[in-house]
Amino acid sequence: MKKSLSVLMAVLMVAVISVAFMGCGAKKSGQLTIGANIYNFADNFMNGVMKPELERYASEKGAKIEIVDSEGQQAKLNDQIDVFITKKVSVLAINLVDPASAKTIIGKAKKANIPLVLFNKEATEAGAMASYDKVWYVGTNSAESGIIQGEMMLADWKANPSWDKNNDGMVQYVMLKGEPGHPDAEARTKYSVQVFMDAGIKVQQLALEADPNWSTQHGNDKMATWLTSSFGKNIELVICNNDGMAFGAINALKAAGVKIPIYGVDALDQALSDIGEGTLNGTVLNDGVNQARATVDLAVNAATGKSATDGTNWSLQTDGSKAVRVPYVPVTPDNYKEFQKR
Ligand code: BGC
Ligand code: CA
């Protein structure tokens, strides 16, 4: 009896020790670890495009990545960073919740001497990027997406005189805007219509509603409300800062049995099939796959003490933004099939 008890004890001890080892053991000795987040897992583009590629590509590069959900709360992200720092990750890859809160996060990384790659939401505070030599940004040139969307809407508007329902030579539009203060949302909202004005075509905004979560629900609710409002019949164009919101607006249009030209940004798979079906007029590829790869490439280089873009195809802007900017591409009924093959 005594003997079997001590055998049992020994077995238990081994079990306890191996469990303890597994706890920290997920990190093989010398393996590079990336502490990452997504500002909100509910976001179609971030969760559907960027997150899977961050995971796939990090593993291809032999790095271990942990991606947490900040649930749209900057305070939550601040805590998550503290946890990553305590865990001694090799490098941080961070999707800001509030683009005006970058300095707090950069300060934390600097104090812990951990390199930091910000991605998707560019810091808006002046001097933030200059405050630490080991911080970089991976994203896009925000204005480019608005300009491309505007150019494609302008070309279609010119080719379809019947879109000017009231024949006043002016574009009566509604705008589904993303997060206020987000550089992508601000630039898309501005430049998409600026293109018309620059071409000498007047525009009239009938309504604009912003959503910090860029959500389909928001697109659906706002579009449904607008359609039944006093100006509902006058809407000639629906401009969406992203496809996620466009999907909602398309549902509302279908439910009301009306067809109004509508455009998005991102080129999500669903958007490509919507273009094929003719329910979406165009979108702009936001190349999340390459943004994810650049994020991992920079993170791995920084963590191993190399220069950020060493041995990669990415180049850093020399304007003080310390940014890699992945180009946007127009996606129309003429070329959408090329993107389905990707
Ligand atoms: C994307 C949006 C997304 C946002 C999140 C933008 O670049 O186009 O779909 O919601 O990033 O920050
Ligand atoms: Ca008009």
| Cα 107 to ligand 1 centroid, rounded to whole Å | 25
Q: Is residue 184 lining ligand 1, measured as CB closer than 6 Å? A: yes
Coil, helix or strand at residue 64: strand
The CA-based dihedral angle spanning residues 65, 36, 330, 269, taken in that order and rounded to the nearest 10 degrees: 60
CATH superfamily, with its number, for domain 143-286 = Response regulator (3.40.50.2300)
Locate the ligand 1 atom nearest the alpha carbon of residue 244 and give its number.
9
HSE of 260, CA atoms in CB hemisphere, 13 A: 30
| Cα 268 to ligand 1 centroid, rounded to whole Å | 11
Q: Ligand 1 pocket test: which of 218, 266, 270 has the largest number of ligand atoms within 8 Å of its C-beta?
A: 266
Mean pLDDT check: name the lowest of 11-15, 119-123, 175-179, 320-324. 11-15
Q: Ligand 1 pocket test: which of 38, 39, 44, 45 has the largest number of ligand atoms within 8 Å of its C-beta?
A: 45
Question: What number is the average pLDDT over the span 294-300?
Answer: 98
CB atoms within 10 A of CB 107: 13
Q: Is residue 286 lining ligand 1, measured as CB closer than 6 Å? A: yes
299 CB-near residues (< 8 Å, 6+ apart): 34, 63, 91, 92, 93, 115, 117
pLDDT over threshold 60, residue 282:
yes
- Closest-approaching ligand to the CA atom of 51: 1
CB atoms within 10 A of CB 210: 20
Q: Does domain 31-140+287-327 have CATH number 3.50.50.60?
A: no
- Parse the chain into domains and list their residue ranges: 31-140+287-327, 143-286
| pLDDT given at position 30 | 81
What's the Cα-to-Cα distance from 78 to each of 69, 101, 245, rounded to whole Å? Answer: 12, 10, 28
Regarding predicted confidence, which is higher, 29 or 198? 198
Q: Is residue 122 lining ligand 1, measured as CB closer than 6 Å? A: no
CA 293, 299, 304, 308 torsion-angle sign: positive
31-140+287-327 and 143-286 share one CATH topology? yes
- Closest-approaching ligand to the CA atom of 119: 1
Tell the burial category of 309 from Cβ atoms under 10 Å away from its Cβ (0-12, 13-18, 19+).
middle
| pLDDT given at position 24 | 38
Q: Ligand 1 pocket test: which of 44, 120, 331 has the largest number of ligand atoms within 8 Å of its C-beta?
A: 120
pLDDT over threshold 60, residue 213:
yes
Locate the ligand 1 atom nearest the alpha carbon of residue 95 and give its number.
12
Q: Is residue 265 lining ligand 1, measured as CB closer than 6 Å? A: yes
**DSSP3 helix / strand / coil % (the chain, rounded to 5):** 50, 15, 35
| pLDDT given at position 20 | 42
- Global pTM reads 0.90
| pLDDT given at position 6 | 54
pLDDT-derived band at 29, boundaries 50, 70, 90: low
What percent of the chain is modeled with pLDDT above 90? Answer: 90
